[in-house]
Amino acid sequence: MTQDVIKVTINNKDIQVPKGARLIEVCRDSGFDIPSFCYYSDLALQASCRMCLVRIEKMPKLQTSCTITCTDGMVVTTQSEEIEKAQRAMVEFLLANHPLDCPVCDRGGECELQEMAFDWGGLEERFTEKKNYYAERYLSPMVANDPQRCILCKRCTRVCDEWMGEDAIEAGGRGANTVIGTYGGWLDCSQCGNCIEVCPTGTLLDATYRHQARPWELAQTVSTCTYCSDGCQMSLGARGGELMRVVARDRYVNGLNGEFLCIKGRFGHPFVNHEARIRTPMIRYKKGGKLIPATWDDAIRHVASKLDSIANKHGRNSIGIVGSPRLTNEALYLLKKFATDLIGTDNYAVTDSVNLTPFFANLGAPLATHRDIRYAKTIVLIGGEPEELQPLTGKQIRQAVRNGGARLIIFNSVPIRLREQASQFIHIRPGAEEAAVLALAGGATDSLVSRKMGIETAELEKVRGTINETEGDLIIMFDGSLSAAAQSALAQLSYLLRADNRRVLFHPLPLYNNSIGALDMGMTNGAIDVTQMLDAAGRGIRAVCVAGSFLPEQLRGREESLAKLDFLMVQELFETDTTSFADVVLPAASFAEIDGTFTNNDGFVQRVRQSIPPVNQSKADWMITDQLARELGVEFGFGMSASAVFNEIAMQVPGYAGLRYPLLKDESKPVQVKHDIAVQRDISNELETVRTAVEQMDESPEKHNDTPDVGHELFKIRTLTDKVAQFHLLAAGNPRPESLNVSPLYQITLSDDLRAEAVVAGD
Amino acid sequence: MHIEAIGCEPLQLRRVHLENSRTLEVYRRNGGYEAIKKVLDSMSPDDVINDVKKSALRGRGGAGFPTGLKWSFVPKDSPKPKYVVCNADESEPGTFKDRYLMERDPHMLIEGMLIAAYALGAKTNYIYTRGEYRYLIDIMDQALAEARAAGLLGEKILGTDFSCEIYTHTGAGAYICGEETALLSSLEGMRGHPRMKPPFPAVSGLYACPTVVNNVETLTAVPDIIKMGGEAYQKLGTEKSGGTKVWSVSGHVNRPGVYELPMGYDDMEKFIMEDCGGIANGRQLKAVIPGGSSVYIMRAEAVIGKDVRMDYEGLVAGGSSVGSGGFIVMDDTVDIFESTKNLTEFYKHESCGWCTPCREGTDWLVKIFKRIDNGGGRADDAQLMLDLCDNIEGKSFCPLGDAAAWPIQSAVKRFPEDFAKHLVGSRKE
Ligand SMILES: Cc1cc2nc3c(=O)[nH]c(=O)nc-3n(C[C@H](O)[C@H](O)[C@H](O)COP(=O)(O)O)c2cc1C
Ligand code: SF4
Ligand code: SF4
Ligand code: FES
C-alpha cells in the first residue's frame, strides 16, 4: 500500500510525512520536544491542557499541535518567545491551585506535572491567593484520590470509557470546581486501575501502595504478567526483597499492552511476599501425619528414593508428572524432559482447563497479535468473555470498534458486556458454540445450525455478508472449550474465508499466562490428561509429582483420588487442596523471583525477569526439577542458568528455533513463535463429527438473559487473589464504607462471614 | 420597557406591540406564514440559500458569521439526517432580545425555522433555551401546537410534500451551553463542554450529523428576507451587514428597552442621548459596553463626538464590537473596577472547566479582584491582571476564555484611574 507523502517544515527543517499525520507526533519524531498532558495516543482528542501550542503560518493564533493534521506545505514553529511564554503560563495556571505537596505524594519523582514544572515552571510563584481545597478520599478499595492535584487532562475518564467501556469516572462540577469523581460516590467498576496509570499527576493513586515507598527507592524490573494469556508487560517495583507495586507506566515499560493492565496484573501481586508462602521444604513421613519442615537435601533425597522404588515396583508409567500452565517455558520444558527422558513415563499433563492441541495441529493461519486486533476490520468472537478473562484482548476489541470502525460479530450464550460494541450479537443457546463453527465452515445447512443455536437463519446470512465485505484483517477468536473436531475445523477456516484483500488470523483465548507455552513445550501431548490421571490414582498411577496444584474443578468429584496415591510431591507457593495430600511439599518461587519466558495468546515469547530474590527458601520450579534429576543420577547441565534451558528449547522446539534471551530483550518488539502453518486439508471427517454432535444437541436449554456482573471472573477468589485483602472486599460486592477518607480495609472487617461470602461470590 | 424601531420600518418588532401578538391568528393577519408559503410554492432549497446569501444577513448570536454561507456548508449529498437548531440560550449579560422576540412573536421564529429546515433538508429541529427561560418553553410549545394544528408543522406542511418537526429543549443553566458545540453536547444529554472545531457543526454537529445552529434573531430575520427578497433586505443595512439589528439596551439611560436599528445606523452618541432618552438622573455618560459583556468596554470619550457607526465594521473601528447587541450604558457613578470584578465573577462561574487557561485564569483573576477589594491591592496588580489575560486570550479551547479576558483588558487599559485607586493605599477599614 503506498501512502501519500507530504512535506511540512518544522523550525526550518523540511520533513516528509505521511498524509494525515498528527503534528505533535511529527514534531516529536523529528526531535522537537512538545510538552503535553492531555494528548494520549489512540484516545479521543481532548485539547484541553493547552501545553502543546505551536505557531503555524497563516493561522491566526497559536495552535494545539495535538489536534492538527499535517497538510502539505505547512510551516510550523515549535520554539519561540511567544510559545514559551504561553507554555510557561499553562504550567503556572496548573500549579496555581495545586497543593505543591510533592514530598508526601506517591507520584513525586515520577510525576509528569513535576517534570513539566522543572522544565517550564517559574522561579517565583505569582499566585499568592488561597488555594481551592478538596479532601483526599478513596474512590474504591483500589483507587485513592487527591482531587487538589488534578489538572483535568481527563486521560482517566477517557481510558475508563474508551479502553474499558466502563464510563465509571467522570468530571463533576464546573469551572475551577470541576472534580473527577464517580457516579454515586463509590467506584463500581472492574477496578483495573488504568485511570491511576495514565494520570500524569498524583491525583489518582494506587490505594494498595499508598505511602508505602517513594518511586526512586524501587528497583524496576520489566516482566510478564502471571495471570491471563494476554501476556501484558509490566514493571515490578521492588524494595529490599519486597515487591511493592506493579505498573505499566511507559517510563519503565513499553509492551504490547501500552499502559494497560487489569485488576489482577496491577493489584494481584501481594501474594508474592505473603506471610502464607510456604517457607521450607516439608516431608510427611507417615500418611495422615503432619508435614515436617526439612532441608532441601533431605526432601529431594526423600522424593528421589520414593520415585525410584515406585518405578521399580510398578513400572515407569506408574509415575505421573504434572505441571501448571502458570509455569515458565523453562520449567515446563524441563518437566517434560524429566518425565520422558529421565522417568520414562508417558503420563505427563498440564493442569489447564482446556487443550488447544487440535487447533494448533491444524492451524491454517498465524495468530493475531494484539496490534492486529486493534486494526482488524472484522472480528468474530465465538464464546468466551475477554473483558473478564483476557482483558487486554477485550480492550483491543473495543478500540478496534470504537476508534477503528471494525465490525464485531459475537456468538455467545450470555449477553456479555462486549456486545455493546458488537455490530451483530448472536445470542445462541448454551453449548451451541460448536454449531457456530459448523456454520462458518459451511458444514451443515443453515436451518439445522440456526435451529440448534436458537437463532434466525438471517443472522448467518448477515455474518457471511459482513465477512464477504471485509477488506483487511478478519480475526477469529474462540475460547478453548470447543471439541477437538470443532477446533480442527475452526483452525482451517482461514482457507475458506480468506480472499485477495482479506487476511484471516486466529486469536485463541486460553486462560493462563503460559497455556500456549505449555502446549509448545509438549506438555499437552502426554498419554492421559489430568483428570484421567486422577481417576487412575492408586491403580495405574501410584506416584505423582506436580508443579503447581490441581484446579478445584479437576478435583471436584475426585476428592479421594489424591489420598489413593502411594506418593505425592507438590511444588507450590501456598498450601492448597493438593498440598494437603502431599507427602513432600517443596516451596516454589513466584514469577517475581525467577527468570524465564511465557508464551502468550499472540504466540509472543516474552521474558519473565527476576525482581526479588526467592522468598523464604523457595526455588524456581525448573531448578527443583533439575535438582531432583541430579539426585536421580542425571545431570541436565544447566547450572543456575535459565537462559541455558531456553537455549535448549530453541534447539528442540521448532517454533522457537534460533531464539535467545538477548533477542527477547526489548519488550516493545516482542518475538512471535513460528507455529507451524498446516496446509489446507480435507476436514470433512471433522465436520461430520461436529455435525453429528450438533444434530444431537439438546434444543431445550434456555439462553442466559442477564449480563454478568462486572468482575464475576476478575474478582474471583483463587489461590493467589485470596492473598489480597482488597479482592475479598470486591468479591463481597464492593460495599461502600461509611467514610471515604479512610481506606475501606480499616472500616470493613474481613470477618469470617464476609470471607465466606467472598468465597461464595467468587466461586 | 421601551420598544421602538428607529431609522427603519420595524421588521423584527413589527408585531410585538399588538394585542395577542403571540397567537397564530394575529401572526397570520399581519403577514405571517406568507414566506413559508412562497418558499414551498415557488422556491428550491438553493433559491432560499441564495436569497439569504444575497441578504448579507450575519449571525446575531455574537460571532456575526454570514448566515447564507453557513447554510451552504451543509453537505447536500450526505445520507445522514440534518438538523436545524435554534440557539435561544441567550446568556450573554446585557442581552434580552431573543427572549422578547420569542415571548411576543413565537410564530416568527417557527416560520424562520421552517424555511431554514426546508433549505437544508432537515426533518427534525430543536429550539434550545437556557434553563432560566423555562416559561418561554410554554409559550413556544403552545405556538408549536397551534402551528401543528393548522398544518404548518408536522406531516405535509401546507399540503405539500414538505414535512418537519420542531421540539423545544431547556438547558440546565450554563452560559457555555450558548456556545454552539457545547449546546449540541448538552442537547445530546452530555456535559456542556464545547467540542473541537473542525469539524464544524455544518458537517458534523448534532449526533455527528450536519447541523445548522442559528441564533433566534438570525432565524426570525429569514421570513422577511424571503418576502422582500435578499437584495432588498441587504439594502436596509450596509453592504456587508444586511438588514436590521435588534439591540437590548440596559443601564443608565432614560429609556432602556429593545430597539431595532438598521445595520450601519450612523451614530452611537445620538442613539444614547436622543433615541434612548439620554443618561438617567442627569448624570454623565462614563462607559458603554455595546455588544454584551464579552466585548471591549468603551469610554464616553470614544463615543461622544466620534460618530461611531452601529454595525460590525463601525464598532470595530470604534474600539469594540457588535457581539450580541447587549448595549450596556454606564454613568459616572459606576466604578469600572467594580463592574469588571462583577463580570469576571460571571466568567469564573461560567467557565466550563475544560481548558487550563480559562478554568484557572478566571479563578485566579477573581481571587485577585477580591483581594484588592479587601484592601490587599498591590501596585503591580493591574500588570499582573493584564498578563494573566494575555495568557488566557487566544490560548483557550473556546472563545469564552477570550470573552473573559477582553472586558478586563479593555477596562484596565481604558479606565486605569478606576483600578489605580483600588490598588495601593486604599486599604479598607
Ligand atoms: C461562550 C459563548 C456563549 C455563546 N452564547 C450564545 C447565546 O447565548 N446565544 C447565541 O445565539 N449564540 C451564542 N454564542 C454564539 C454561538 O456559538 C454561535 O456562534 C451562534 O449560535 C451561531 O448562530 P448565528 O450564526 O445565528 O449567530 C455563544 C458563543 C460563545 C463562545
Ligand atoms: S485525575 Fe489525573 S488523569 Fe484524571 S483528569 Fe486529573 S490529572 Fe488528569
Ligand atoms: S475557554 Fe476552556 S474552560 Fe473556558 S468555557 Fe471554553 S472550553 Fe471551557
Ligand atoms: S496536549 Fe494538546 S492541548 Fe493538551
10-residue stretch averages of pLDDT, chain A, 763 residues long: 84 96 97 97 96 97 97 97 97 96 96 95 90 96 97 98 96 96 94 98 96 96 98 98 97 98 98 97 95 98 98 97 98 98 97 95 97 98 98 98 97 96 97 95 94 96 97 95 96 97 97 98 96 96 98 93 97 97 98 98 98 98 98 95 98 96 98 96 95 94 93 95 94 93 87 56 39
Last residue of a domain, one of A59, A94, A129: A94
Say which CATH number the domain at A177 has. 3.30.70.20
Any idea what the CATH number is for the domain that residue A446 is in? Answer: 3.40.228.10
Q: Which of A44, A45, A71, A43 is nearest to A56 (CA)?
A: A71
How far, in Å, CA of A115 to CA of A111, rounded? Answer: 6
Q: For residue B357, how far is its CA from the centre of ligand 4 (angstroms)?
A: 12
Instruction: Identify which of B174, B191, B356 has the shortest CB distance to residue A90.
Output: B356
Asked whether residue A187 is domain-assigned, the answer is yes
Ligand 2 centroid to Cα of residue A149, in Å, is: 8
Chain B, nearest residue to A51 by Cα: B356
Does residue A414 sit within a domain?
A: yes
Task: Identify which of A507, A561, A459, A520 has the alpha carbon closest to the alpha carbon of residue A676.
Answer: A520
Q: Which residues contact B85 (CB under 8 A, 6 or more apart)?
A: B125, B126, B127, B128, B180, B183, B184, B187, B205, B206, B211, B212, B213, B214
Determine, yes or no, domain membership for A389. Answer: yes
- State the DSSP string of B385-421: HHHHHHHHTTTSSSHHHHHHHHHHHHHHHH-HHHHHH
In this structure, the answer to whether residues A488 and A589 fall within a common structural domain is no
pLDDT score for B427: 53
Residue A758 confidence (pLDDT): 52
- Evaluate whether residue A380 is within a structural domain: yes
With cell 513535576, the residue in question is A114
Residue A395, amino acid: K
Shared domain for A327 and A449, answered yes or no, is no
Say whether residue A66 is in contact with chain B using an 8 A CB cutoff.
no
- Contact residues for A187 (Cβ-Cβ < 8 A; gap 6+): A139, A140, A142, A143, A168, A169
State the pLDDT at residue A486: 97
Distances (CA, A) of B388 to A153, B313, B344, B362, B404: 21, 28, 13, 9, 11
- Which chain A positions have a beta carbon within 8 Å of B185's beta carbon? none
C-alpha cell at A216: 526512586
Looking at residue A110, its amino acid is E
Enclosing domain of residue A540:
282-355+515-669
Number of domains in chain A: 4
Same domain, A380 and A351: no
Chain B residues whose beta carbon lies within 8 Å of the beta carbon of residue A45: 196
Residue A62: inside a domain:
yes
Q: For residue A207, what is the enclosing H or E element?
A: none
Q: Is residue A616 part of a domain?
A: yes
CB-closest option in B359, B368, B394 to A176: B359
Same domain assignment for residues A365 and A347: no
pLDDT tens-digit series, residues B323-358:
999 999 999 999 999 999 999 999 999 999 999 999
Report the distance separating Cα A272 and Cα A655, nearest Å. Answer: 32
Q: What is the pLDDT of residue A749?
A: 80
A186 vs chain B: nearest CA distance in angstroms? 20
- A390 and A525 in a single domain? The answer is no
Pairing label, strands A671-672, A604-608? antiparallel
Q: Using the 3D structure, point to which of A46, A73, A94 is the last residue of a domain.
A: A94
Cβ-Cβ contacts under 8 Å, A87 against chain B: none
Of B196, B359, B361, the CB nearest to A67: B196
| Cα maximum dimension of chain A | 91
Residue B416 neighbours by CB distance under 10 Å: 12
Q: How many other C-beta atoms lie within 10 A of the C-beta of residue A715? A: 26
- Collapsing DSSP to helix, strand or coil, A534 comes out as helix
Q: Are A424 and A490 found together in one domain?
A: yes
What Rg do the C-alpha atoms of chain B give, in angstroms? Answer: 22
Check whether residue A176 and residue A53 sit in a common domain: no
A328 and A392 together in one domain: no
**Residue A679 located in a structural domain:** no
Distance between A62 CA and the closest CA of chain B, angstroms? 7
Preferred mutation among A63, A91, A120, A129 to probe B, highest tally of B CBs within 10 A: A129
Q: Which chain A residues are within 8 Å of B191, Cβ to Cβ?
A: 170-171
**Same-domain check for residues A557 and A591:** yes
Q: Which residue from A67, A97, A171 is facing B360, i.e. has the nearest CB?
A: A97
Is A170–B191 a contact, with Cβ atoms under 8 angstroms apart? yes
Q: Looking at this predicted complex, what is its ipTM?
A: 0.95
Report the CATH number that the domain containing residue A42 is assigned in CATH.
3.10.20.740
Question: CB of B352 closer than 6 A to ligand 3?
Answer: yes
Closest-approach residue (CA) in chain A for B369: A129
Search chain A and give the residue with CA nearest B195: A46
Kindly report the protein residue whose alpha carbon is nearest to atom 30 of ligand 1.
Answer: B179
Residue A48 at interface with chain B, using a CB cutoff of 8 Å:
yes
Mark whether A373 and A345 lie in a shared domain.
Answer: no
* β-pair type (A407-412, A424-427): parallel
pLDDT attached to residue A531: 96
In angstroms, the Cα distances linking B46 to B42, B68, B76 are: 12, 10, 10
Please report the number of interchain residue pairs, chain A to chain B, with beta-carbon separation below 8 angstroms.
90
**Tell me, what's the pLDDT at A641?**
96
B391·A93 Cβ contact <8 A? yes
Nearest atom, ligand 3, residue B350 CA: 5
| Model pLDDT, residue A763 | 37
Indicate yes or no: CB of A48 within 8 angstroms of CB of B350.
no
Last residue of a domain, one of A448, A483, A508: A508
| Sequence-separated (6 or more) residues with CB below 8 Å from residue B248 | B94, B95, B96, B97, B100, B258, B324, B325, B326, B327
Q: Flag whether A763 is in a domain.
A: no
Amino acid, res. A95: L
Find residues 70-89 of chain A whose CB sits inside 8 Å of chain B: 85-86, 89
CATH number at residue A287: 3.40.50.740
What pLDDT sits at residue A74? 97
CA geometry: angle A115, A121, A123, nearest 5 deg: 125
Same domain, A525 and A593: yes
Mean pLDDT by 10 residues, chain B (429 residues): 95 96 97 97 97 98 96 95 98 96 98 98 97 93 98 96 97 95 97 95 97 98 98 96 97 98 97 98 97 97 97 96 97 98 98 98 98 94 97 98 98 97 68
Is A117 in the same domain as A207? Answer: yes
